[in-house]
Structures are given as C-alpha cells and as structure tokens.
Chain A
C-alpha cells in the first residue's frame, strides 16, 4: 500500500471514530457541489436541532428568530472558488457569504473551509484560524464542511510540529486542531454532539 493511501485510510478510520463524515472528492468543484447539496437537503427547520424547538428564555429565544433563510458561509476562499460556490448557492436560493459572521450569531447552516493540513493518527484537521470570520464560520455553523487535500496529510501530531511552530512564530496567530464535531458528556456522561459548535463535521478528502 502506498504511504499516501495508508494515511488516507488511517485518517478515514480515525475521523469516523469521532463521528465525522468522510467522503472522497475528485475536484474542488465536486466538493462545492457536495456542500451545496447537503445545504439544500438540510431540513428547512434545521435550526430546530439547535434548541429553538425548546422553550427558551426570552433573550435566547429572540436569537432564534434572527435567521431569515439558509445561510452558507465560506470565508477565506480564493476569489474564483468563492464565486463558483456563490453561483451554485444562488441557483438554490441559498444565501452565501464570505464575511459578516457577526451578523449571523443566531446560526449559520453551513460553514465551508479548506484545511491547511490533516493529522491521520487522530483524524484531525489543522486550520489556520487567524481570520475571525473563519473562526466564527466554523463555530457558528450547524454543519462544517471542510476540504482536506490528501497531500497535506501527516501521520502524527509530531509530524505537524514544524507547521504549528511556523504559524505560532508568525503571530498574532490562531491555529486550530479540529477533531470531530463539538461534543460534551457533561450530563450523566452521555455523549451529546453540538453543544456550542457544529452538530456535524464533513471532511471531503481531495486527492491532489
């Protein structure tokens, strides 16, 4: 087995263990189509998943009313990629943004990003989160879709050490390791996904 295939397999298994959904894609276009697709398939009342179906205190409930239509955010993409995504979204009536996350604190349907690297051993995405927009996009969204180029995969976190150092030396910096969706087991040790951040994490493995 080639080394790259081995890492892809390892990554897929490990990310699966933390209930990330891993799918291979052949091109960035395919990734965009995939993303718009799940946004469209996403229940129109998706926001219910995030607690709005429950009775909330008045202030918190007000946030639930803030969201007009489905929102996809994709900050920090190369211009043409974002344009392509925006066009796909427009076809399906999805609001697509690359900035202004703070206006959408009530919730975002999909956050779309491209990872800087991946760590196979733990199924981890490494994301340069210097941009506040990107950080918020990946935290406020209900579904985070992230493209991971297989050429950036490494086996262990130590193999990513130099990369982490390079980012941290170039401060101010904010680097994130993301492994699976936001989770908690704080009530009776029962696992619950999506306590603050995304309820789902999709990782699209792009062979390059």
Chain B
C-alpha cells in the first residue's frame, strides 16, 4: 500500500525494505526458482503464439465489452442470477452491502479476489457490522495482520513462518509451532468453522463467459468451491475486463495463467459456475446468486487507444516475479493494491495519482516484465506514459524540465558537455574517473566511480579515422549516443576499425544528438519527441544500408521507441519507419551481417564473461550473436548466473534511486566474479559505466570492455 507523502518518504520506505533480511532472501529465492519453473511449465509449447492469441482474444473482448455484458446478463438472468453493474468501487461495495442486508446476512466468507481488494470491500462490509473472513490462506493471514497483499497470487509472500506462527498463536489463543505443514492445518480447521457459519460467500471471477453466463474460478486451495457452495448467498465481484465471449477463450487463458503465475500446468481446481444451483442451507433449497460487475474506469480504458491493452491482464503476477526492483523491495513498496509492473499502471487509474506518483518512478525500464507478460502488454512503455501524464497533471520537477530543455537543443547540450570537461579537470586527479563529484551530483553515488568526460569527443575524432573505401560493400551511418560520443569515444573507434577491415563505408551525421531515452524515462514527452525528430532528420535513412549503434539502449529506443513516439506525425511517418528498419546493434551487425571469422582474430583464450544488456536481450531479442562473437574472437566464454538481469544502471534511474541501483550492481558483479573471468564484456556503454564504476569502487581487477573493443584489440 502506498501512503508515502512524497518521493523522499517513499525512498525511506525503500531503504526499510532493503534492510529487511528475510524479505530479501525470500525474494531472491523466489526469483530464481520462478525462472526455472516457468521455463519447465512452458517447455515444448508455442509460448509466443499463445501470448499473441490471448492478446488478440482479450482485445476483441474489450472492444465488444458492452455486447458481452448484455449477452452475459441475458444468459445469467435466465437462470435466476441477479446481475449488477457498479460504476465505481464505492458503488460496488454498496451494492454488495445491500445484498447482504436484504438477505439478512451476518457472516461472510470470501475467496481471493483482487477486485475486492481494489474496492476495499472488506472495510465497507465490516463497517456495516458484518463479519468477513478471507479463506485463501495468504489472504487470511494478511487480513489478520491488517495489511494489503504483496503479490497478486501469493499475497503473504513477505512473511516468515515465525510471523505466521505468532499470528496464529494470537488467533487461536494457543501456542503454535512454526512448522508450516501444521500451520496450514490450523488454518484448515479454523476456517472450516467459518464456512459452516457463513450465510454469504463472496468470490471473484477469473472469467465471466458471455455465451453461457458462466463465472469460472481458478484456485489451488479449493476454498472458492466451499465459499460458493456452503453459504446460501453467492456474490461474484468481477471486473468488466473479465468478460469473455466463449469457453474457448477461458480455456486458452487457463493454459497460460497457472504456468505463468507459479509454473503449474493448471490450478488444482477450476470451477465453472453457471447460475444458482441447489443449496440445502437455503429455505427454498436454491442458492441466491449475484454477479456484480465493476467498471471503475474499465469502460473508458477499453476505449483508450494506448491503455486499452492493460485490460488484457490476467492477473498472473509474472510481471512482479521477474521485476528486479520488486525482487529488492517487495510488493508493499512496488504496488498499492495491484502489484508489480501492472500495479504501477493500474494504481494510477484505480486508486489515483497520489498513490501512483512515487511508485511509477520506480521502474528501471529493464523490460523483464514485458518479456513474460501473458497478455503481451508493453508494460514499461505504459509505465512511462503514466509517469508523463502525472507530470503533466501535477507539474514537472525542475530537474526534469531543465534536462528536457537542454536536450531539445543539441548545440546547447553539447556545449555544456564540452564545458563540463573543462571544469572536471581538478577532480579527476589524472584518472579517467571523477574522484570528487561536486556535491549536487555526488549524493549516494559512492557505490561506483563515475567516468570523466573524454578529452576529445568522438565527433571531433571521426574525420581522422573515417575509413577511406572506394567501392564499399556496405554503407553504414553510425549513431554513437552521448556516452560514446563524450565519455567512451574509444569504443566507437574500435567499431570503426573493424568496419574498415570489412570494406564498409562509415558516415557520422554530425547533427545527431542524444537518443532521447533519458527524457522519455523522466516523463518529458515533448522533449523526447523533439529529439527523436531531430535524429531522424539528421540521418537521411534512405542513403545508408544500416544505422549502427554500439549502445543497446539507444538501439532499442531508436528501433522500437521512435515509431511509437513519432506516430501520428505525417511528415515523418515514412522516414521514421525507414530509420527504424535500418537500426542494428553492434554484435548483430558484426556477427550476422559482416559474418566475421575466427581467422581474423588472435586467439588468446582470455577468461571472459558477459553481461547481457536489458535493451539488447529483451529490447532487441539479441542473445546468440554476442556469445558467439566471444568464441570467434578467441576468448574463453564463461557464462555467469543471471546474465540477462539488469545491472542497475537504467540511466537517470541510478541517480534517482542510487540505493537500489547499487544493490542490483552488487548482485551483478558478484555473479560475474564468481565465474573466475578476468574480462567482463557487454554491448552497452551505459552498462559499462555502471559495471566499471562498481568494480573500480570495490578495487576489483576485473576489466570491463565493450564487445567492439575486445574484438578490435584482437584483430590480426
């Protein structure tokens, strides 16, 4: 739950979470175990195809929400179900409260429902004097602790067996041991009584199937079956986004939901409830059944061209499971009610700006969530969009406005970088690192040494090193990105050296500027758009075969970000498409296009490991080329654990959340060092800045190089 007033207080809470040892270990174990079980669960299945089908099915359903609602209502009504539609969370709670009062209900049992969490239903019912008991074990635990969930599937994942034992001791008034099997049995007995006494059962619904008027529920514990069977009244509270045309749609989602959630092939129980059946505890022998549909903005979201895709969410929780930030700080800090990447977005729509404003900044843009999302939702992009909207509504922070202004003018930006070089001289102490940062930048940055600005930027060196080729095999335009232009020009030089060997003509369009990702990350849409347009204009895409960049983040932003950012600008539509189609990263270009051979390199068998940049492996789906290149280049490649997990750089993220950045870096370096390699390679200057800075700060001898440097150094 989000209660922090401002970013400062939120950061304080993050620090608290980082210091929670149990949470850290639990989250680490979970993250590692989840990877393996998910991979096993989908083994042999066409996962991409399944995700695409789910997305298509959900998009269709959401575009036909009203018809489906009408059809569902007709079918359910015919069987005696009362169907309600609530516009707001409060209205849903009131409807359910009234149903309870009218049916003279005293006690209620609930099975797990994120929608009921969304509306804070329990509070409302308790205020009416009703006794409400959650029967899902995890939900019951957090209900007893008066907390919100920390995971959408495993709500009590943040708690230890000792905490649960203490809680249960309190509840039963008898000392309970911390044996998990025994604790579960205590819950079994305690809750059994609750079912027996309850007059009303409230469930959620994974599906509201229009063709039959069926509510389908997936559970492992089986509590939903008791909740919907024993009491005489059943109320299902269901988001309008759960409407689906047919049983076929539900079966398809069920193939992905448990696999993506917990690595199970299917949940222990799937219940298909169609209308009110017999119920012996009711006076007329028949169940009283209600379905309450919750709108709470869903109808409008369904019509939003950008955000409608969030309604594809099947609440599997996978986007939290793989999120490196979630792994560090847990669900209370990375969500309000809805948790993880989807929570960052939904909080804004369902619970408001105040709850979302800090949260939404805490995304490092690693793309891990997008890569596993069962609905194929472009979560990181929507998170940035929410951030931008909040800033538009609340006003932009000064720092972000400044950066936006500076980046919009390439000349101003580059002039500033050049003058920064002059003033940094006294603080570098003759090393390539900024030893004593001016205080304003230095805050909490001690975990890594930051690089100094290079003596001569790449743009000033280019003319001298430009390959002189008469009949070029290919024409390449180089996009250096700011870091290689002004901090690590030697990396771009190394690339040019390899290109020259292969008879490739290279251009360096001088009007190119920052790719704009930093301002996009900070929610400065206007500036991001303007920079993108400038870069497209600077490169005349039709005049080259490839636009090569050595920066994974630039590459994925240029290739996938630009067409989105510049969409709707009719003057640029063709150019931006041509531009994006030509963008390629260094490793893919050298491996797939130039097809370099081992004979070109001196083999020295140096022990080498790799960091796979987020924006390369997920942003561009490039995984094989760099690994193959290490072997071709004569290095001995030693794979590290979690090579594709974020290094914690994230551009401006590491300035805003240095503590989290430092933790991610620590893990990354530990994994790299464990391999025993002397050399750490990667394909992104941003990652290099982070990795090298971290190794320097801890005094490690391991070297960090860009793939281009490693190859150029070994050219025969």
Chain A positions within 8 Å of B, measured between CB atoms, are 14, 17-18, 49-52, 54-57, 59-64, 102, 105-106, 121-124, 129-132, 135-136, 139, 157-158, 161, 164-165, 167-169, 171-190, 192, 194-197
Give the nearest-CB partner of A107 in chain B. B192
Bound together, the chains give a CA A161 to CA B251 distance in angstroms of: 8
One of B164, B175, B255, B277 near A173 (C-beta < 8 A): B277
Question: Across the interface, do A182 and B221 meet the contact criterion of CB distance under 8 Å?
Answer: yes
How close is B233's CB to chain A, nearest CB, in angstroms? 14
Bound together, the chains give a CA A43 to CA B225 distance in angstroms of: 27
Bound together, the chains give a CA A190 to CA B694 distance in angstroms of: 36
Question: Across the interface, do A171 and B275 meet the contact criterion of CB distance under 8 Å?
Answer: yes
How close is B701's CB to chain A, nearest CB, in angstroms? 38
Bound together, the chains give a CA A143 to CA B714 distance in angstroms of: 68
Question: Across the interface, do A174 and B184 meet the contact criterion of CB distance under 8 Å?
Answer: no
Interface residues on B, range: 35 or more
- B212 proximal to A (CB < 8 A): yes
One of B30, B137, B269 near A186 (C-beta < 8 A): B137
> What are 24 A-B residue pairs whose CB atoms fall within 8 Å in the complex?
A54-B172, A54-B176, A60-B172, A60-B192, A62-B193, A63-B192, A63-B193, A102-B280, A130-B277, A130-B278, A132-B278, A132-B279, A136-B229, A157-B255, A168-B209, A168-B274, A169-B212, A176-B225, A182-B220, A182-B268, A192-B181, A195-B137, A195-B188, A197-B269
Question: Across the interface, do A122 and B266 meet the contact criterion of CB distance under 8 Å?
Answer: yes
Question: Across the interface, do A186 and B189 meet the contact criterion of CB distance under 8 Å?
Answer: no
Q: Mark B167-201, 1 if CB is under 8 A from A, else 0.
A: 00001111110001111111111111101100000
Chain B residues, CB < 8 A from A172: 79-80, 274-277
Question: Across the interface, do A59 and B212 meet the contact criterion of CB distance under 8 Å?
Answer: no
**Known A157-B251, A187-B156: A196·B189 in contact at CB below 8 Å:** no
Bound together, the chains give a CA A172 to CA B137 distance in angstroms of: 29
Question: Across the interface, do B222 and A182 meet the contact criterion of CB distance under 8 Å?
Answer: yes
Question: Across the interface, do A189 and B155 meet the contact criterion of CB distance under 8 Å?
Answer: no
Question: Across the interface, do B247 and A161 meet the contact criterion of CB distance under 8 Å?
Answer: yes
Chain B residues, CB < 8 A from A136: 229-230
Chain A residues, CB < 8 A from B138: 184, 186
Question: Across the interface, do B251 and A192 meet the contact criterion of CB distance under 8 Å?
Answer: no
Bound together, the chains give a CA A177 to CA B281 distance in angstroms of: 25
Question: Across the interface, do A57 and B183 meet the contact criterion of CB distance under 8 Å?
Answer: no
Question: Across the interface, do A177 and B187 meet the contact criterion of CB distance under 8 Å?
Answer: no
How close is B267's CB to chain A, nearest CB, in angstroms? 7
Bound together, the chains give a CA A196 to CA B193 distance in angstroms of: 11
- B702 proximal to A (CB < 8 A): no
Give the nearest-CB partner of A186 in chain B. B138
Question: Across the interface, do B212 and A51 meet the contact criterion of CB distance under 8 Å?
Answer: no
Question: Across the interface, do B229 and A55 meet the contact criterion of CB distance under 8 Å?
Answer: no
Bound together, the chains give a CA A57 to CA B197 distance in angstroms of: 15
Question: Across the interface, do A51 and B272 meet the contact criterion of CB distance under 8 Å?
Answer: no
Number of A-B contacts (CB under 8 A): 223
Q: Mark B21-42, 1 if CB is under 8 A from A, else 0.
A: 0000010011001000000000
- B160 proximal to A (CB < 8 A): yes
Question: Across the interface, do A14 and B265 meet the contact criterion of CB distance under 8 Å?
Answer: yes
**8 additional contacts, CB 8 Å, given A55-B174, A186-B136?**
A17-B265, A54-B186, A102-B280, A157-B254, A176-B269, A177-B266, A187-B180, A189-B157
One of A55, A60, A124, A194 near B266 (C-beta < 8 A): A124
- B214 proximal to A (CB < 8 A): yes
- B578 proximal to A (CB < 8 A): no
Chain B residues, CB < 8 A from A181: 268
Chain B residues, CB < 8 A from A184: 137-138, 184, 220-221
Q: Mark B274-299, 1 if CB is under 8 A from A, else 0.
A: 11111111000000000000000000
Question: Across the interface, do A187 and B79 meet the contact criterion of CB distance under 8 Å?
Answer: no
Chain A residues, CB < 8 A from B172: 54-57, 60
The 3 closest A-B pairs by CB, nearest first: A55-B174, A51-B185, A172-B275
Give the nearest-CB partner of B255 in chain A. A157
Bound together, the chains give a CA A135 to CA B227 distance in angstroms of: 12
How close is B691's CB to chain A, nearest CB, in angstroms? 31
How close is A195's CB to chain B, nearest CB, in angstroms? 5
**Known A50-B188, A178-B268, A195-B187: A190·B247 in contact at CB below 8 Å:** no
Question: Across the interface, do B183 and A196 meet the contact criterion of CB distance under 8 Å?
Answer: no
Chain A residues, CB < 8 A from B247: 161, 164-165, 168
Question: Across the interface, do A177 and B136 meet the contact criterion of CB distance under 8 Å?
Answer: no
- B494 proximal to A (CB < 8 A): no
- B541 proximal to A (CB < 8 A): no
- B262 proximal to A (CB < 8 A): yes
How close is B602's CB to chain A, nearest CB, in angstroms? 49
Bound together, the chains give a CA A63 to CA B189 distance in angstroms of: 8
One of A18, A105, A183, A187 near B196 (C-beta < 8 A): A105
Which residues of B616-665 are within 8 A (CB) of A? none
- B161 proximal to A (CB < 8 A): yes
Give the nearest-CB partner of B157 in chain A. A189
Chain B residues, CB < 8 A from A176: 225, 269-272
How close is B432's CB to chain A, nearest CB, in angstroms? 45
How close is B316's CB to chain A, nearest CB, in angstroms? 15
Chain A residues, CB < 8 A from B255: 157
Question: Across the interface, do B161 and A175 meet the contact criterion of CB distance under 8 Å?
Answer: no
Bound together, the chains give a CA A177 to CA B254 distance in angstroms of: 11
Question: Across the interface, do B271 and A102 meet the contact criterion of CB distance under 8 Å?
Answer: no
Bound together, the chains give a CA A29 to CA B157 distance in angstroms of: 46
Question: Across the interface, do A174 and B277 meet the contact criterion of CB distance under 8 Å?
Answer: yes
Give the nearest-CB partner of A119 in chain B. B266
Give the nearest-CB partner of A190 in chain B. B180
Bound together, the chains give a CA A157 to CA B182 distance in angstroms of: 35
Question: Across the interface, do A105 and B229 meet the contact criterion of CB distance under 8 Å?
Answer: no
One of B184, B275, B279 near A192 (C-beta < 8 A): B184
Bound together, the chains give a CA A52 to CA B137 distance in angstroms of: 18
How close is A138's CB to chain B, nearest CB, in angstroms? 8
Give the nearest-CB partner of B209 in chain A. A168
Q: Mark B238-252, 1 if CB is under 8 A from A, else 0.
A: 000000000110010
Question: Across the interface, do A102 and B277 meet the contact criterion of CB distance under 8 Å?
Answer: no
Question: Across the interface, do A165 and B221 meet the contact criterion of CB distance under 8 Å?
Answer: no
How close is A53's CB to chain B, nearest CB, in angstroms? 8
Question: Across the interface, do A174 and B271 meet the contact criterion of CB distance under 8 Å?
Answer: yes
Chain B residues, CB < 8 A from A49: 185
Give the nearest-CB partner of B162 in chain A. A188
Question: Across the interface, do B266 and A164 meet the contact criterion of CB distance under 8 Å?
Answer: no
Question: Across the interface, do A187 and B221 meet the contact criterion of CB distance under 8 Å?
Answer: no
Bound together, the chains give a CA A124 to CA B269 distance in angstroms of: 9
One of A161, A175, A192, A197 near B180 (C-beta < 8 A): A192
- B406 proximal to A (CB < 8 A): no
Bound together, the chains give a CA A104 to CA B280 distance in angstroms of: 14
Question: Across the interface, do B193 and A54 meet the contact criterion of CB distance under 8 Å?
Answer: no
Bound together, the chains give a CA A94 to CA B10 distance in angstroms of: 61
Q: Mark B367-386, 1 if CB is under 8 A from A, else 0.
A: 00000000000000000000
**Known A55-B172, A139-B229, A174-B274: A187·B266 in contact at CB below 8 Å:** no
Bound together, the chains give a CA A55 to CA B531 distance in angstroms of: 68
Question: Across the interface, do A179 and B268 meet the contact criterion of CB distance under 8 Å?
Answer: yes
Chain B residues, CB < 8 A from A52: 189
Give the nearest-CB partner of B224 in chain A. A196
Question: Across the interface, do B277 and A197 meet the contact criterion of CB distance under 8 Å?
Answer: no
Question: Across the interface, do B269 and A189 meet the contact criterion of CB distance under 8 Å?
Answer: no
Question: Across the interface, do A188 and B225 meet the contact criterion of CB distance under 8 Å?
Answer: no
How close is A17's CB to chain B, nearest CB, in angstroms? 8
Question: Across the interface, do A105 and B220 meet the contact criterion of CB distance under 8 Å?
Answer: no
- B226 proximal to A (CB < 8 A): yes
Chain A residues, CB < 8 A from B278: 130-132
Question: Across the interface, do A158 and B275 meet the contact criterion of CB distance under 8 Å?
Answer: no
Question: Across the interface, do A60 and B193 meet the contact criterion of CB distance under 8 Å?
Answer: yes
**Known A169-B212, A186-B138, A187-B184: A57·B225 in contact at CB below 8 Å:** no
Give the nearest-CB partner of B191 in chain A. A196
Bound together, the chains give a CA A2 to CA B187 distance in angstroms of: 46
Question: Across the interface, do B159 and A187 meet the contact criterion of CB distance under 8 Å?
Answer: yes
**Known A135-B229, A177-B270: A185·B188 in contact at CB below 8 Å:** no
